[in-house]
Structure 1
Amino acid sequence: MKTIMIHEMPDHVGETVRIGAWLSNKRSSGKIAFLQLRDGSGFVQGVVVKEVVGEEVFSKAKSLHQESSLYVTAEVTEDERSSFGVELQVKDVEIINDAVDYPITPKEHGTEFLMDHRHLWLRSRKQHAVMKIRDEIIRSTYEFFHMNGFVKIDPPILTGSSPEGTTELFHTKYFDEDAYLSQSGQLYMEAAAMALGKVFSFGPTFRAEKSKTRRHLIEFWMIEPEMAFVQHEESLEIQEQYVSHIVQSVLQNCPLELERLGRDLSKLEKIQAPFPRITYDDAIKFLHEKGFDDIEWGDDFGAPHETAIAENFDMPVFITHYPKDIKSFYMQPHPDRDDVVLCADLIAPEGYGEIIGGSERIYDYELMKQRIQDHNLDEAAYEWYLDLCKYGAVPHSGFGLGLERTVAWISGVEHVRETIPFPRLLNRLYP
């Protein structure tokens, strides 16, 4: 007898198989019990008929508690109502572990309770769907960059300086030196791009930002490409192609998960490059026309401002050419204006905010040195970075995509805490 997983069942219709599974729920009607089974690859219903299996097996099935683990021997039969098109006609049940008093019941639970039991909450259908979509975004990310000639590079997590300053960094001691948990691998990726041309990283980043909004995490994952000989406009084209690719990959490969989450597929189906663009200058004018009198030229956008701009489009929208004083030191100045830089933020539709920040990078040695001084950064700590401008400097660009915000947008969940297996929030380091 073959042991298989649930997602393989459509290939075994008419066969008797064995699966290892957990009981997500059950109901019974007289002499028939219906077991909702899951094994990580999917969910399937097992039908237990007393006349078929006998009193002992039927009583065993009816006595199972939610999330008990078991081996099930059953015949795979077709069922149009099932998401996989099949169900199981159970012949035998072998209990591995009877999960008595499982804490997460089918009733409603508060968010804090569910977060305290995140290690168990992951088993739910909704969380299972979100994690599968996250995995598909990661898979299609590697696919996109490898198809386009990028090389995967891993920057360090412990750093001696910060690309954005040190106000939101986690400090630690590195033997007798100060060190910080990385908030971005960008500077190291620029060095890698000078060696390998087009590179990308995918790894954890940390922000010691005391924020409680639905868009923020303390620890999150970033995809950060850097590209030699690529300037601002070409970088925007690569960004919109990349985002289009991952959205279409999720639509193609995660239809059951999107359905389970109740996602409006029509909103995702239209996500195709090119994306609309609006300059920072025009965005300020637009916000003033919409009654946002709290923002002036030179201010950064908050969540309400980004949402208002995004609502004017049904696609992700680039906001380009921000004032240099509110952006990072390494951004290339606009060739015709000294007050803005060649950068863009990509704002997701439906109120999910910024998912990408990117720019063309400075490659002139004297200008980079001056910008480091203007930002009161320790020049000695950036000596290696200045070397990139001194030895074989070329125009180059890069960007960073926040994985969790992107998962939230594509899957349609409200809060980023549901888009990472074990979220780290302002007041949460457990479990």
Structure 2
Amino acid sequence: MSSVMWAVCGLYSAMCALCFAELGACIPQSGGEYVYIKRAFGDVPAFLCCWVNLVIVCPVSVAASCLVFATYILRPVFPDCDPPQEAIRLLAALIILLLISLNCINVTWATKVQVVITGCKLIALGIIIITGFVWIARGHVENFKSSFEGSDYSASAVAIAFYSGFWAYGGWSYLNFLADEVVDPHKNLPRAIVISMVIVTAVYVATNVAYFAVLTPSEMLKSAAVAVTFSQQTVTALQYIMPVLIAASVIGGINGSCLSMSRLFYVGAKNNHLPCVVSMITKKQLTPAPSLIVIMILVLAMQNFEKIFYLIEMMGFSFAVILTTVLAGQVYLHWKEPKLYRPIKLHVSIPIVMFLVSCVILALTVYQKPSESLMTVGLMALGLPVYAVGVYWSKPAGVNKVLDSFTVCIQKLLLVVPPDDSQ
């Protein structure tokens, strides 16, 4: 059933990506879902989208990926036991510091690193797939007998599985955050989304088939680093190579998140939804350093939270709320702005169906995981007083003077200026 869910989550993500392709092509502005919600529903919902991404979605996603990276890197050093949590967190903190520094210094370097890392990811997954299918060809098919035995088919379990799918497939919406920086976005944005989702879904499903050919579900659940356990039982020499390749691929996910999410916060700050210093860029490198540093601070805080899967489920619920709002806005824009130029025009039934499916997932999650859901809703609701004080309230001259002094101090410290002043 988990393999089925990998395919279903891939299909769901691909359909959502198509909806985002339409939005990205007709509204080619950096900021992704934040821009689309603002266009459809106005200022307050857009601020809440920015707020949720700031306090939950971005830091949790990046923190979880950093911890996975550290676990894989340290696994060969501790072959007979799990790596110490202190070592994992220290290494996770070092990698986020390194990647944020790289993005602050030079975006071109960051994108080149992304290309190299993507190659490492495909090599690692290709090795796993080939090894697994060779294992099957040699007649090792015992793990596929009664393969649905013990599966949980309940709707609530399926809904929760979607959130792990959101995290695994996460990234399909990130290209929309960089729409202003994409060459010919009307053509290249949808092309990139569609091609990548087909490849990623096929590779992930094939990888899991390969895993199940060698490992039982219980062995996978017990393993802290599944690819290493897989290598130990197939090609022993790979147990030292695989952690490096997997860790490199995880760096790619972290780097992509930092690169794209910093643009969302940058756009939010330009609309006065975050402190204006977040919208500034470095004078020499022209990178959004303040936005990146905010991400780094929040990620470091999240890495110290012990229940990382609790956070991932919160992140999944938060992302599902944002996604549902975007799909509702897309349907609304079809009615509100029917003459809007849409280089890619989906039939309105597609975003409607995806919106309804997302609503069902949210409802089932509230039923199955009330604690995580209520915590997430509470954090979202906290954004309303933050909006009232930070955005809506006309601040006295004394308060504005203090804020301006703080902004100038950060500008001097980071050598950042408003974008218009850097031209």
The reply to whether TM is greater than 0.5 is no
Higher strand share: 1
Rg larger in 1 or in 2?
1
Relative contact order (alpha carbons < 8 A, sep ≥ 6): 1 or 2 greater?
2
TM-score using structure 1 length: 0.21
